Structure 1
Amino acid sequence: MAFFNKVLASIGIGAAKVDTKLSQSSIKAGDVVEGMVEIKGGSIEQNIDEIYLSINTTYEKEVDDKIVHKQASIATIKLNEPFVIMPEATKTIPFQFQLPINTPISAGSTKVWLQTGVDIKGAMDPTDKDMVTVLPHDLVDETLKVFSLLGFTIRNVKNKAASNKLRNSLSFIQEFEFVPTSGTYYGKFDEVELVFFPINEKKLEIMMEVDRRAKGLTGLLSAAFDMDESIIRFTLDESDLPSFRNRIEEILKKYS
């Protein structure tokens, strides 16, 4: 019977199960994620080699003139040393880690999830998937508020494969597409695109492309190869916040 149970466990029947429980379902980029992983033993004793958490998302990439969706891992966290889970036993492993500051926010088509994986020798590895709502880092949030106050509305947010020039620690960028729907800049721009590159908790690099051409734009990624005059890169520091709106307005007026 023990041998038969091992055979069943090798294909996932009667094997250990994993369930991850988060203390919060919404978390700001750069903040601490807390929770616990619960391992419940199956019908046989099993060796747990490793339990790990990974933060994942998807992004768009053009392949042979077609848009395909790729999965990207933003970070992986190992939780434990090897141990044995006995039949029907339950083991709880608390965890705490910092959500990377460059995690894309949950907006538009962007989805972020926490994947729990368990490596069990000689058996099908159980997994668990939990969706996470990622809120913007304070400096990103401030930038989004300024554009809203200036009459811009977010039309689209998506993750795109990054060119070598734009690639940082990740293989993709998150692009925010704004259109002016009221205020001073209504009718002056077709759209404004923003990409955020967090440097640390108190400093943020921003790439902005303003487009006033009725024919549309080539796109931030392709235009970045030439770095034409409509693409602006600048940094935002906490100390800049009191004058940040004025700074954005100066840039927009220059290109309107």
Structure 2
Amino acid sequence: MSFFNKMLASVGIGSAKVDTKLESDTVAPGGEIRGVVEIQGGNVEQRIDDIYLSLNTTYVKESDDKKYTVSGLIDRFRLTESFVLMANEKKVIPFSFLLPIDTPISIGKTKVWIATGLDIKNAVDPTDKDYLRVVPNELMDSVLQAMGGLGFRLREAECEQAPHRLRRRLPFIQEFEFIPTSGPYRGRLDELEITFLPISNTDTEIWMQVDRKVRGLGSLFSEALNMDESNIRFTVNRGDIPYMQQKIQSIIQSYA
């Protein structure tokens, strides 16, 4: 390669292009993602130091009483060792990986995407971005269906910076905020929040915040002191699925 072509490659002119193609863009946490990464060489030979897939979302962070949205890395997967991509050469690299069980689902304001990048020394890093449709797994879906069966409507779902008591592998959690629109808790609860804290594909811990409706002067004082809220942690597993609505109702009933 001539010195001039090397210089062109180092500033990203005539360089490689990358395109990721997924077999399916719909997956549940813990499910498998499969596809190929297609790399098209440019006008010059280039050394590819790394090919990686990064799984990302955004979440709301708070600092100095201000809220702002930042990107959050869920996981990163390296696909190949270093290699030389010849001019105009095309490579197709298959891949598969399991979506982490703590990946947020695509609902409300939450978006999840895969970014594909080539690590090219001294050059512009070409990237490709592909959005996923992350759907609830069987256990999560059972809990969400149970909430609907009890008369709750999902008002909002959003990823937020995790408080220390709920922080695990990731710096954020996904909160599901429900309001009672019918059923036994309409008029008794203001809202109810749920956060899934997965343990495995078959078990998940749930953090639930129950916000009772204000009634009378005593309740007004309770609300001022945040005593009208109860924080509950419990675990559900696949064996609970046939009876999920009854299980959740019995837990809410103790705090409503």
If the TM-score is normalised by the length of the shorter chain, which range does it land in? over 0.9
Aligned to 1:142: 142
Aligned to 1:174: 174
- Could you tell me which amino acid in structure 2 is paired with residue 245 of structure 1? Q
- Could you tell me which amino acid in structure 2 is paired with residue 73 of structure 1? L
Q: Which runs of 5+ in 2 are unaligned?
A: 215-219
Percent of pairs identical after alignment?
51
SS at match of 1:4: helix
Distance in 1 (CA, whole Å) between partners of 2:79 and 2:147 is: 40
Q: Which runs of 5+ in 1 are unaligned?
A: none
- Could you tell me which amino acid in structure 1 is paired with residue 12 of structure 2? G
Aligned to 1:156: 156
Deviations 1:8-31, CA, capped at 9 Å, x for gaps: 222222001111111111111110
Is the 2:74–2:170 Cα contact (8 Å) retained in structure 1? yes
- Could you tell me which amino acid in structure 2 is paired with residue 169 of structure 1? R
- Could you tell me which amino acid in structure 2 is paired with residue 171 of structure 1? P
Q: How many Å apart are 1:74 and its aligned residue?
A: 0.7
Is the 1:24–1:34 Cα contact (8 Å) retained in structure 2? yes
Aligned to 1:107: 107
Q: How many Å apart are 1:70 and its aligned residue?
A: 1.7
1:60-209 alignment runs, 5 A limit? 60-209=60-209
SS at match of 1:179: strand
Matched, 1:13 2:13: yes
Is the 2:160–2:175 Cα contact (8 Å) retained in structure 1? yes
Deviations 1:43-67, CA, capped at 9 Å, x for gaps: 1111111100010011111111110
Is the 1:204–1:237 Cα contact (8 Å) retained in structure 2? yes
- Could you tell me which amino acid in structure 1 is paired with residue 245 of structure 2? R
Deviates more, 1:246-255 or 1:110-119: 246-255
Aligned to 1:51: 51
Distance in 2 (CA, whole Å) between partners of 1:72 and 1:237 is: 28
Q: How many Å apart are 1:203 and its aligned residue?
A: 0.5
Q: How many Å apart are 1:178 and its aligned residue?
A: 0.3
Q: How many Å apart are 1:39 and its aligned residue?
A: 0.6
Aligned residues: 248
Distance in 2 (CA, whole Å) between partners of 1:26 and 1:20 is: 15
Q: How many Å apart are 1:162 and its aligned residue?
A: 0.9
- Could you tell me which amino acid in structure 2 is paired with residue 204 of structure 1? T
Q: How many Å apart are 1:5 and its aligned residue?
A: 2.6
Deviations 1:61-88, CA, capped at 9 Å, x for gaps: 1111110112111111000011111111
**What TM-score do you get using the length of structure 2 for normalisation?**
0.92
- Could you tell me which amino acid in structure 2 is paired with residue 71 of structure 1? S
SS at match of 2:106: coil
Q: How many Å apart are 1:163 and its aligned residue?
A: 1.7
SS at match of 1:51: strand
Distance in 2 (CA, whole Å) between partners of 1:231 and 1:67 is: 23
Deviations 1:164-217, CA, capped at 9 Å, x for gaps: 2110110001000000111121111110000001100110100111111347x9
- Could you tell me which amino acid in structure 2 is paired with residue 87 of structure 1? A
- Could you tell me which amino acid in structure 2 is paired with residue 35 of structure 1? G
- Could you tell me which amino acid in structure 1 is paired with residue 95 of structure 2? F
**What TM-score do you get using the length of structure 1 for normalisation?**
0.92
Distance in 2 (CA, whole Å) between partners of 1:209 and 1:164 is: 16
What value does the CA root-mean-square deviation take over the aligned residues?
1.9
- Could you tell me which amino acid in structure 1 is paired with residue 147 of structure 2? F
Q: How many Å apart are 1:229 and its aligned residue?
A: 6.9
